């Protein structure tokens, strides 16, 4: 037994050799694989020694295929209902916009090479374009509002061209009409049939905030109302914010331009005795908090708390049928027009809208003031 204890068995020797071979294989892979130390070192050397900028960009793209590492700022399309800050680049000559999938590479974004120019790169396809400040324009969508709970936002930063309201559906806008279409960071509504439709399936269990910055230009083609914003399928659900269309001789309190607000149906309609004057830019914010005992609804005019109410039924707002869109400027589909009625039941708005937003929660007073100040100051 003493002789066997002084040596190693053949089996132990074989196992030792196998382990050493495995370790050697792992080491070689770490050194020479696609992401190995030697490979990465060689790639870094190639990047440093690239003889031209274009060769350097091509090497960055080749490197992406192995390590998925991108250089530069990720570009994103600017959309109507965006709830984040975004940047895209537009080719002013062709109108092409570089957004989703593209990156904006500036000299300061790389350390391995002394880059002299900026580039627009799609690492997935390998396509790249040299940035030319005379040809290209950087478009930014800097949110001018609180983003927590934001369902959608349209503001002057988004409005850089006639179709800058993005994925919203624009109905009946006519840029050949002096009273309809995009103009100087706003959309003009002709008071006849213009309207905007936005898809929405948000949960309003916590409440709601409606914001709209606009100028009333005159009476519309409906003698009853001018819609600012709405989401409803009938008079017993959704929300509705509008201006009275004409003076009502039977009700002296219903004067042209009077503001009306529904949360959960017209049977809980709130008339705050506020009359909107023509040709005066006005910022309306209305918050509704179902969890409060008093002052569930709060109306702000130009950022200032003005009126309160308890009118509203949150259950009727929550139970609005799925896929009911938010509509701005008119009831596009004449949602509850009585059969045989020949009147204009779109209730079209006549004026300009500079910004409109919906939140699925009630904003606090300081948040309302922040949104008002940033939006108005930006649109001057």
Q: Under DSSP, is residue 139 helix (H, G, I), strand (E, B) or coil? A: strand
**Pick from 329, 347, 351: which is nearest to 244 by CA?**
347
Distance of alpha carbon 193 from alpha carbon 197, whole angstroms: 13
Structural domain boundaries in the chain: 40-141, 150-378
pLDDT tens digits, the chain, 380 residues: what are they? 444 455 567 777 777 777 787 777 766 665 555 555 555 555 555 455 556 888 899 989 998 988 899 999 999 886 656 677 888 999 989 989 999 999 999 999 998 788 999 999 999 999 999 999 999 999 887 778 998 999 988 877 666 555 556 568 889 988 678 889 887 778 899 999 999 999 999 999 999 999 999 999 999 999 889 999 999 999 999 999 999 998 876 676 689 999 999 999 999 999 999 999 999 999 999 999 999 999 999 999 999 999 999 999 999 999 999 999 999 999 999 988 888 888 889 999 999 999 999 999 999 999 999 999 999 988 76
Element (H, E) at 164: none
Supply the Cα-derived Rg of the chain in whole angstroms: 31
Per-residue tokens: 87: 């940047």
**Pick from 262, 273, 247: which is nearest to 297 by CA?**
262
pTM of the model: 0.74
**Residue whose pair of structure tokens reads 């100040």 in the numeric block:** 373
Fold of 150-378: Jelly Rolls (2.60.120)
- Would strands 225-231 and 239-244 be described as parallel, antiparallel, or unpaired? antiparallel
Contacts of 6 (CB under 8 A, 6+ apart): none
DSSP state, residue 221: S
**Residue whose pair of structure tokens reads 């201006």 in the numeric block:** 243
């Amino acid at each position: 037994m003493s002789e066997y204890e002084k040596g190693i068995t053949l089996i132990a020797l074989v196992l030792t050799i196998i382990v050493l071979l495995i370790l050697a294989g792992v080491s070689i892979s770490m050194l020479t694989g696609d992401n190995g130390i030697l490979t990465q070192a060689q790639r870094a050397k190639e990047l440093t020694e690239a003889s031209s900028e274009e060769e350097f960009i091509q090497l960055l793209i080749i490197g992406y295929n192995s390590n998925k590492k991108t250089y530069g700022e990720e570009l994103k399309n600017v959309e109507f209902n965006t709830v984040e800050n975004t940047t895209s680049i537009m080719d002013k000559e062709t109108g092409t916009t570089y957004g989703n999938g593209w990156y904006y590479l500036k000299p300061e974004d790389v350390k391995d090479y002394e880059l002299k120019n900026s580039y627009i790169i799609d690492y997935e396809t390998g396509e790249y374009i040299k940035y030319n400040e005379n040809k290209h324009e950087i478009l930014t969508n800097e949110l001018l509002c609180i983003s927590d709970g934001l369902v959608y936002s349209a503001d002057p930063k988004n409005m850089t061209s006639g179709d800058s309201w993005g994925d919203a559906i624009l109905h009946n806008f006519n840029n050949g009409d002096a009273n309809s279409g995009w103009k100087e960071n706003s959309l003009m509504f002709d008071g006849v049939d213009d309207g905007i439709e936005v898809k929405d399936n948000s949960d309003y269990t916590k409440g709601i905030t409606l914001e709209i910055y606009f100028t009333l230009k005159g009476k519309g083609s409906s003698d009853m109302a001018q819609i600012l914003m709405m989401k409803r399928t009938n008079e017993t659900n959704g929300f509705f914010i509008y201006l009275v269309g004409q003076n009502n001789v039977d009700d002296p309190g219903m004067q042209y331009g009077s503001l009306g607000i529904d949360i959960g149906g017209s049977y809980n309609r709130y008339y705050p005795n506020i009359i909107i004057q023509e040709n005066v830019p006005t910022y309306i914010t209305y918050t509704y908090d179902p969890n409060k005992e008093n002052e569930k609804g709060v109306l702000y005019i130009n950022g200032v708390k003005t009126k309160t109410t308890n009118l509203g039924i949150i259950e009727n707002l929550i139970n609005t049928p799925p896929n009911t869109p938010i509509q701005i400027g008119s009831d596009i589909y004449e949602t509850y027009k009585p059969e045989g009625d020949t009147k204009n039941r779109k209730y079209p708005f006549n004026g300009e809208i500079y910004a409109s937003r919906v939140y699925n929660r009630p904003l606090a007073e300081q948040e309302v003031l922040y949104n008002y100040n940033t939006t108005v100051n930006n649109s001057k």
